[in-house]
Amino acid sequence: MAQSLVLASSSPRRRELIARLGIEPSRIAAPDVDETPLKDERPRDYALRIAVSKAMAVPRADNEVILAADTTVAAGRRILGKPADEADLRRMLALLSGRRHHCISAVAVIDRAGTLRTRISDTTVAFKALSAAEIDGYVACGEGMGKAGGYAIQGRAEAFVRFLQGSHSGVVGLPLFETRALLVAAGLPLA
């Protein structure tokens, strides 16, 4: 029986990234998971918990492999989720301005046998010092709403990045090196 991949995400960015591995998911399933951080939860633990929760929330047929991921932006131990509004987005950008932060992407794969495997990509990103006008302009473009940490590195915010160490695809939302390793371990034929 041929295996098929289920992408447990409604993110168009994750679908675009998985296509770079030469894979087209047989179906997309948006898991309904509460993404509220637990009290005193560390960013790495949070990202892993959410990725696993997303994978477990999607029903799986016998021939299906489930792929889920979560990307979290962390400034120190602070988890920066998706901004609630423009004021929250401004606060996040001001916090990231002129400093390094971490983009932690956790990937979870459940294979045909029901075995769960996980990997984490931790990328360090340094933003230039942002002026009030740059923050205003980025908020006005609307790109940062709905994005962890309030920015999309694959968009205008890439011009704010003065240094990146790690996985660019992980910052976008799906670290391809780790994802490929997990899918190969799950038995999916990849070139």
**Secondary structure element (H or E) that encloses residue 13, with its range:** helix 12-19
Backbone angles phi, psi at 131, to 5 degrees: -80, 165
Low pLDDT (below 50) residues in the chain: 1
Q: Where are the domains of the chain?
A: 4-185
Burial class (CB in 10 A: 0-12, 13-18, 19+), 75: middle
pLDDT for position 190 = 80
CATH architecture group of domain 4-185: Alpha-Beta Complex (3.90)
The CA-based diameter of the chain, rounded to the nearest angstrom, is: 57
Question: From CA 88, how far away is CA 93, in angstroms rounded?
Answer: 9
Rounded to two decimals, the pTM is 0.92
Question: What pLDDT, in 10s, does the model give residues 133-159?
Answer: 999 999 999 999 999 999 999 999 999
Residues acting as catalytic residues: 70
Of 144, 149, 117, give the one whose Cα is nearest residue 51.
117
